[in-house]
Amino acid sequence: MIPPVLTVPGDSALVLGQPHGATALGDVEESLNARGRAVADTDWHIPALYDGLAPDATVIRAGFSRYVLDVNRDPSGVSLYPGQNTTGLCPVIDFEGEPIYREGREPDEAEIERRRQQVHAPYHAAMEAQLARVKAQNGAAVLYDCHSIRGDLPFLFEGRLPDLNIGTNGGASCAPEITAILEDWRGEAEAAGFTTVMNGRFKGGWTTRHYGRPEEGVHAVQMEIVQGTYMEETPPWTYDSDKAAKLRPLLQALLTRLKTTGAGAAAN
């Protein structure tokens, strides 16, 4: 039995969500076609990229592939980006718009509900519990949702994405003090040669939008990183330590500020 969620509690105000880094398919695998079984839309190597950058942070990591059920989508199935191409709660197409199921094996409502209970519900129960614990212990909680994606996906967006895509639901998911930290950090990242955007194509998924309640001392930020900044964007999706070595110090600096300055300002 594959655990639906792995939780590593930490002592600081920072919580790292990692919803899309797993490749396990469980009993769903037999219904997928070859394209689906390749799980190309995985947020590859996210645990390795963030390993050791914030050792006192709480980590909440999904144990199943997003192709089983996407824990960063509204459990009701409502689209996060109405009118735009995207993938849903229980994806039946990939990021290139191609089917991932064998013909006639797409999940029905009963199957989607089964997966919702077995995957989505445990992940978010863990998230709720850890955010409450962290907030009680530190006076505030800062949720940083870790994501990555291929930079060129015409089905989802035109052109190539900026390297670092920050989402705060248009500023609604975190306090102004945290927004200021993010803006300052963007300048440092661009000076180091990375391109950035705030609330561009990716404004934050359901996790960011649902848990980001700055008026209650819970702040949420999504970071969508173009995979070419730390790995190869083609199979076998190889991690590139040299590329990652240029990015990791920047990420570490941001996480440090979010758990100190950000959390401290948010708790006032």
| pLDDT number for residue 262 | 52
Please give the Cα distance from 185 to 221 (Å, whole number): 13
How many Å is the Cα radius of gyration of the chain?
Answer: 18
Dump pLDDT digits (tens) for 56-86: 999 999 999 999 999 999 998 887 777 777 8
Q: For position 187, what pLDDT does the model report?
A: 98
pLDDT of residue 266: 47
Residue 265 has pLDDT above 60, yes or no: no
Q: For residue range 244-264, what is the model confidence (pLDDT) as tens digits?
A: 999 999 999 999 999 985 555
Closest C-alpha to 153, from 86, 99, 88 = 86
Taking the mean position of all CA atoms in its chain, how far away is CA 119? 16
Q: What integer pLDDT is reported at residue 267 of this predicted model?
A: 47
Phi, psi of 184 (to 5 degrees): -60, -40
**pLDDT score of 97:** 96
Name the percent of the chain lying above pLDDT 90.
90
Q: Which residue has the tokens 């990021």?
A: 95
pTM: predicted TM-score of the whole model, two decimal places: 0.95
132-172 pLDDT, tens digit each: 999 999 999 999 999 999 999 999 999 999 999 999 999 99
